[in-house]
Amino acid sequence: MSLIKKIEGAETKDQLETLGKELFGVDVDKRKGVETIRAELLELAEAQENDTTGEIDPEAHAAAQVAQAEQQTAKGGDEGEAESGYKGRMLKHRKTGRLFPWTAQLAKKRDMQEV
């Protein structure tokens, strides 16, 4: 069963909290609503599924992403930019180390740090 299906199948905050700890190592704020918690976990699951580094450790993951970006740049200017996608401001999740494109909404989250 995929991560997204597991998260969508969870019905209570307790189930979502368990999934958050097991799958991503994050603490879930149970003061939020079930749908809000589900949306945050789905965001993490989608980022993990789209990840091409294969690293689980946050520090190793960040280093692998930097190495991939450097390889793309070394391959050749415009071509590398088209393949790797976003080259602007980035945000890093403090607990998981995942990198996301900067958005005002993500920047407001306390677990996100601009890099």
Q: Is the pLDDT of residue 3 over 60?
A: yes
Q: Which residues have C-beta within 8 Å of that of residue 92, sequence separation ≥ 6?
A: 62, 98, 99, 100, 112, 113, 114, 115
Q: Among 53, 54, 47, which residue's Cα sits nearest to residue 93?
A: 47
At 81, is the pLDDT very low, low, confident or very high (cuts 50, 70, 90)? very low
Q: What are phi and psi of 72, to 5 degrees?
A: -65, -40
Whether 68 and 84 have beta carbons less than 8 Å apart is answered as yes
Q: Which residue has the higher pLDDT, 11 or 61?
A: 11
Q: Which amino acid is at 104?
A: A
Boundaries of every domain in the chain: 1-50, 57-115
Q: pLDDT by residue (tens digit) across 28-74? A: 888 999 999 888 888 888 877 776 666 555 566 666 767 777 776 66
Scan for tokens 């989250």, then name that residue: 109
pTM given for the model: 0.48
Q: Which two tokens stand for residue 90?
A: 């980035």
